[in-house]
Amino acid sequence: MRDSELEQLLALSEPAAIAALYADAYRMKLEYVGKRVSIRGLIEISNICRKNCYYCGIRSGNGKVERFRISREEILDTVLWAYRHHFASLVLQSGEVASEAFTAFIEEIVREICARTDNGMGITLSLGEQTRETYRRWREAGAARYLLRIEASDPELYRKLHPADHSYEARTACLRMLRELDYQVGSGVMIGLPGQTIRHLVKDLRFFQEYDIDMIGMGPYIPHEDTPLGAGLRLTEDYRKHQLELGLKMIACARLLLRDVNIASTTALQALDPRGRELGLLAGANVIMPNLTDTAYRSGYRLYAGKPGLDESSESSLEALTKSVEAVGETILWDAPGDSLHYFRRH
Ligand code: SAH
Ligand code: SF4
């Protein structure tokens, strides 16, 4: 596909033309993955973060946030709950912490998860930028996947979204290290950022291609009131609709361009529309990551306004999710790690 073609698709405004784009992407998904949805249990293990990204609700500069870190026992309780409920894939996510204590804590938990589950549990880490040695230790402990969004692939836009000491080059270097350590590498961007154009979004798609990314986790940007970027923005109905639509178009274009990669239908879509995640599946996504974090901690991990499911128990949200996925004619792949096809093709 040419850049001009991608630009045209992302700029579509006619409802019928947009529906045709989603349908094309859905057909491509059927060809590569079928009507099947891979499922990963998301555990948000801590909101302590050393970074200060201008868009994020748990940035270090936000003094209103009460910080938490979930204990080893509580994390393992959730992991075993997920295991009993037929999850064979988990994501451990947190703010960015760089310390030997944290590295060792994660290393031990990953080993413990592998020892206590026997279904080939696919462990994804999403713990920000780390040293090669840290990534190596976590990989060796048993984490096979890592999710690190580039956030905005254009260096200039990246600089506008982050304080001066957050480096675009350091982040891309991390993505290369993860690849060298043979992780299944996930990346993504925020869609509909202030100052972002359609050209930027096409660049983002090309970035995924160039870095040969295995898993895409991207979602609409949603303003958070206590952040420099989100403070002046109001989440009106029109804004919501626009962000949702752009997010879905990006999923569709990513599927058409990248074909065999895993693409997540992210929580941010659901935050904009109760049916957001199902719409994501119909636009070409094939992964859903329900939040399994203990509800006691959920309100502390508010990256953006209106994050859904803050008080919903894992049990009831799982039931609702299963029903809504079935309602769009798809089936959840329980007991399956759901590795990226793209990763195995490369090998
Ligand atoms: N600290 C790690 C992982 C946790 S943040 C990291 O940054 O890599 C997870 C993701 O939340 C980020 O990659 C970012 O893309 C997303 N996020 C943060 N603030 C957001 C917002 N206001 N709207 C939408 N997504 C946001
Ligand atoms: Fe920290 Fe990640 Fe939020 Fe940036 S996006 S402030 S690194 S949690």
The tens digit of pLDDT for each residue in 256-300 reads 999 999 999 999 999 999 999 999 999 999 999 999 998 888 889
Q: For residue 163, how far is its CA from the centre of ligand 2 (angstroms)?
A: 12
Q: Amino acid letter at 346?
A: R
Of residues 40, 123, 46, the one with CA closest to residue 85:
40
Is residue 334 scored above 80 in pLDDT? Answer: yes
CA 194/CA 222 separation, integer angstroms: 10
Percent of the chain surpassing pLDDT 90:
89
State the sign of the Cα–Cα–Cα–Cα dihedral 122, 110, 312, 147. negative
pLDDT digits (tens, 9 = 90+) for 176-227: 999 999 999 999 999 999 999 999 999 999 999 999 999 999 999 999 999 9
- Average confidence (pLDDT) over 124-136: 98
Atom 3 of ligand 2 has which residue's CA nearest to it? 56
Which ligand 2 atom sits closest to the C-alpha of 95?
8
CB 128 near ligand 1, within 6 Å: yes
Sheet holding 122-126, edge to edge: 41-46, 89-94, 122-126, 145-147, 184-187, 215-216, 262-263
Mean pLDDT of the chain: 95
Q: For residue 13, how far is its CA from the centre of ligand 2 (angstroms)?
A: 32
pLDDT digits (tens, 9 = 90+) for 102-120: 999 999 999 999 999 999 9
- Structure token digits, residue 92: 């451990």
* Residue-level pLDDT at 71: 96
Atom 2 of ligand 1 has which residue's CA nearest to it? 128
CB 58 near ligand 2, within 6 Å: yes
Percent of the chain surpassing pLDDT 70:
100
Least confident of 70-79, 133-142, 148-157, 304-313: 304-313
CB 269 near ligand 2, within 6 Å: no
pTM given for the model: 0.96
Sheet holding 331-333, edge to edge: 287-288, 36-39, 331-333
CA 239/CA 300 separation, integer angstroms: 25
Q: Please tell me which residue, 9 or 293, carries the higher pLDDT value.
A: 9
Q: For residue 319, how far is its CA from the centre of ligand 2 (angstroms)?
A: 30
Which pLDDT band holds residue 310 (cuts at 50, 70, 90)?
confident
Q: For residue 14, how far is its CA from the centre of ligand 1 (angstroms)?
A: 31
Q: For residue 61, which ligand has an atom nearest its CA? A: 2
CB 93 near ligand 1, within 6 Å: yes
Which ligand 1 atom sits closest to the C-alpha of 230?
22
pLDDT digits (tens, 9 = 90+) for 28-75: 999 999 999 999 999 999 999 999 999 999 999 999 999 999 999 999
CB 196 near ligand 1, within 6 Å: no
* Residue-level pLDDT at 95: 98
